[in-house]
Amino acid sequence: FSFVANVKSGGKKKVIKAEQLRLQKEEERRLKEEEEARLQAQQEAARLEKERIEREQMEKLEAKDQERRESEAAELHSLEQKFLAAQQWKTDRRAHAKWEHYLRCDGRPDPAVLPEINTFMSLWREERNEDIRLVMEKGEQVLNLIEKLQFLLLDTPPNEITEKEAAQYRESILELQNLLHQKYNDATEHLLKTANMYEDSDTGNMQAVIKDKNVTFCIWANLKKKVRFKSHVFCDAEHGFDLPKSLAVRSVAIRLLHTRYDHVSPLWLQCQSVPNLDISGSEELTQHSKDNVEEPGGEGKKTGEEPDIPDEEGMHSDGRKGALSLTDNSTSLADTRETEEETEKKSETLDTPSQVEHPLMQEERTEEEEVAVPDNNVVDLQQFVPVGGVYHIDVLQLPPQAKQIKDWSMVEVLDTGLAAYPYPPEEAGGATHPPVQITLRLPDTVMYFQDPVIARWDPAGQQWRTDGISNVTYQSQERRVAFVMAAFYTIALLQDAHLNMPYQAWELRPTAVDEALFVVTTGFATVQIQIKGSQCMLSSVVVEEKDVLSHITGKWISPLDLRALLRKAGVNIFPGEYSHKYIPVTKKAALAEVQAYQQMALVASAFAFAWSKWNLEAGQEQVVFKASEQLEAGSVRDWSLYMFNGQKAQKLRITETSEAFSEELEEGSEFHSTLYHMLKDFASKAAIDKVESASFLFIDSVYQLLLATRVLTYS
């Protein structure tokens, strides 16, 4: 019995000990949980306290920002008067140019004066001198008149030009283009009537190449009609063709007229102003606009204070020669196209800040307003644009040749004028006819970054098409393209309008008093533009570490002319109205974008700006960029990041090398209603003095380039 009692006693002790251990562990766990809860409560309290302090600080900063908004707006408004001064300077310049033209009285017409331009065209129509070289010489004058009209359409603000005047300018452009093309047809007919006088001693056929800086005129006449004739190359132009057998025995001529301008595409394509950005939702901006329109005086009359600026008007004639022409050469559709262009003009306004514009139109169009392109063979001119001019390739009926009878030269005169030879023949029925092979030597003055798209002009549909063209081979090193056509067409080489977008980087930095350097880096090229006063200069275009397009570098021209020159050369860094539909970009809110460009321009004399990778992360309503005070020329090293939504600016704590995007404020910084005042917080007195004394023409030029390239959306 005692043994059993001892066993029971030992078992009870073990149970008690186990229970004690369990209770001890539970107590330890409870204490640990209580400690963790206490620590969590402390951390939560600390977090809440920190958030409360931060919230109070933010509220204080917001309140401080609200308190000074009115004074900041007034100060910014004073600086923005420089935009109005630039606008007034341009108005005075246009008036001065008209007066200077009147005083010269040199017989040259003013294209804006309807009686003068009509008289000019009537007199030229009546001229019977049809020598091709004289037509080329006169053609250069016609191109200059067209360019002046284009410049007036793009440069004149809406409040200075009526819709009737704009329609008159467009009609004059169409008539000048049609007249110029008709004169080339007349000169061709005149030359072909005496083709046997230019007979080549080797082949017995007639061939000639005549060219100037605007046109290359190649003509070949089949005088011998040899059935074995296969092809011909115009040596001076390096263009060539293979003649179908059926034409080898016909009295035909082949004309290849290369115009380095485009008078075929619709007028709106070449006469595009910078797309408008709708910022009408801002009451503050609307009020500023009203105030500024009511106060046209002030700095607007200080045009005489710019003695160091190159004479912009004096540069127009040189800078604009050979610029793009804008319309179609079909006289039968002139009236229809005029109506279309009048409609198109309603969507165009001057590239000026909101303070001096009429109410801005919406950039976004409804789907009903956009023209669908159901046919895959039809070129979408919002996406592809002709580059390098237009090639008119025609097969013509050879007119009766002059015959020498003793001392007399006799020729049969026909009233039909220059006539095209039908190929393929209309009566061919189901018979097949061999295609036409063409080889073109591309101009050195144009950049083709990718294989160009070959398109033909469809006169009936008034559009560029890609069908009817095949077997395209492009030799980039030799700058040659060969292709086969089903018939003889007017041809253009097209390039993607957005292949240089989005930009890889951009930078704007001051280099001297009222001078700056603007650099845009794309996937194919690096474009450097110098800005000085009212003008800018293309410093360089570097492709694969080589300088290209030397023929347009080093010339001081207006920002408007620079846009035309770069587009004509195939380097398009200027987005169109619908560009965001063709390339993957975050389309920034118009308010943030426009206000950023304006205020960047206002301080560009003392501050540098550049691309930031965080701009993509900031969303649509805000823009992020790098900025730094820059009082001397050279590279910028000390960048800071700023964020701006058009109504609030802040300096960010993150850097370009941070791991993630954050809107956290830089320590010790505040909110401001304007970018100008945000930069002013960290600027030296010398920088602010430089900003306040900056030329209004320089500010306007910087703004025009920023708005034209839209680097904050398309980078």
Structure confidence by residue, pLDDT tens digits, 229-271: 888 999 889 999 998 888 888 889 999 999 999 999 988 776 7
Sign of the torsion formed by the C-alpha atoms of 555, 560, 566 and 571 = positive
* 489 in Cβ contact with 438 (< 8 Å): no
Length of the chain: 715
3-state secondary structure at position 479: coil
Whole-number Å distance between alpha carbons of 698 and 681: 24
- Among residues 135, 146, 140, which one has the least CA distance to residue 175? 146
Q: For residue 530, report the phi and psi dihedrals to the nearest 5 degrees.
A: -90, 140
The tokens describing 144, both together, are 């200059």
The tokens describing 72, both together, are 């900041």
* 353 in Cβ contact with 593 (< 8 Å): no
Question: Which range among 34-43, 376-385, 391-400, 590-599 shows the weakest confidence by mean pLDDT?
Answer: 34-43
**Res 418: pLDDT:** 84
Crossing angle (nearest 10°) for helices 132-155 and 163-193: 170
Question: Which range among 311-325, 358-372, 453-467, 489-503 shows the weakest confidence by mean pLDDT?
Answer: 311-325
Whole-number Å distance between alpha carbons of 47 and 36: 16
Amino acid at 230: K
Whole-number Å distance between alpha carbons of 533 and 552: 19
The tokens describing 376, both together, are 């895959």
Q: For residue 403, report the phi and psi dihedrals to the nearest 5 degrees.
A: -120, 135
285 CA to centre of own chain: 26
Give the strand order in the sheet containing 239-242.
231-234, 239-242, 436-441, 480-485, 469-475
3-state secondary structure at position 292: helix
319 CA to centre of own chain: 17
* Burial group, residue 242, by CB count within 10 angstroms (0-12, 13-18, 19+): middle
Whole-number Å distance between alpha carbons of 256 and 237: 10
Whole-number Å distance between alpha carbons of 491 and 483: 11
Pick the most confident of 5-9, 196-200, 294-298, 499-503.
499-503
pLDDT tier at 200 (50, 70, 90 boundaries)? Answer: confident
- Label each residue of 538-598 as H, E or C: EEEEEECCEEECHHHCCCEECHHHHHHHHHHCCCCCCCCCCHHHCCCCCCCCHHHHHHHHH
- The DSSP symbol for 329 reads -
The mean predicted confidence, pLDDT, of the chain is 82
pLDDT tier at 372 (50, 70, 90 boundaries)? Answer: low
Q: Which long-range contacts (CB under 8 A, 24 or more apart) does 92-96 make?
A: 92/303, 93/312, 93/313, 94/155, 94/156, 94/160, 96/313
pLDDT tier at 342 (50, 70, 90 boundaries)? Answer: very low
* 515 in Cβ contact with 532 (< 8 Å): yes
Whole-number Å distance between alpha carbons of 713 and 715: 6
Q: CB atoms < 10 A from the CB of 526, how many?
A: 15
* 627 in Cβ contact with 596 (< 8 Å): no
Question: Which range among 345-354, 361-370, 588-597 shows the weakest confidence by mean pLDDT?
Answer: 345-354
Whole-number Å distance between alpha carbons of 416 and 540: 51
Q: Which residue has the higher pLDDT, 601 or 157?
A: 601
Write the DSSP string, 208-221.
Answer: EEEE-SSEEEEEEE
Terminal-residue alpha carbon distance, the chain: 97
Contacts for 687 with CB less than 8 Å, ≥ 6 apart: 606, 607, 629, 631
SS3 content of the chain, % helix, strand, coil (to 5): 40, 20, 40
* 349 in Cβ contact with 273 (< 8 Å): yes
**What ranges in 156-200 are assigned the alpha helix state H?**
163-193
- The DSSP symbol for 163 reads H
- Cα 165–Cα 169–Cα 170 angle in degrees, nearest 5: 120
Question: Which range among 83-97, 273-287, 471-485 shows the weakest confidence by mean pLDDT?
Answer: 273-287
The tokens describing 603, both together, are 């301080």
**Res 8: pLDDT:** 57
pLDDT in tens, 48-59: 777 776 676 766
Contacts for 174 with CB less than 8 Å, ≥ 6 apart: 267, 327, 328, 334, 337, 338
**Residue 278 pLDDT exceeds 80:** no
pTM of the predicted model, to two decimals?
0.79
- Cα 10–Cα 11–Cα 17 angle in degrees, nearest 5: 90
Beta-bridge mates of residue 510:
516
Residue in the structure block whose two tokens are 């600027």: 683
Contacts for 617 with CB less than 8 Å, ≥ 6 apart: 624, 661
H or E segment and range at residue 162: none
* Burial group, residue 239, by CB count within 10 angstroms (0-12, 13-18, 19+): buried
Question: Which range among 190-194, 240-244, 573-577 shows the weakest confidence by mean pLDDT?
Answer: 190-194
3-state secondary structure at position 375: coil
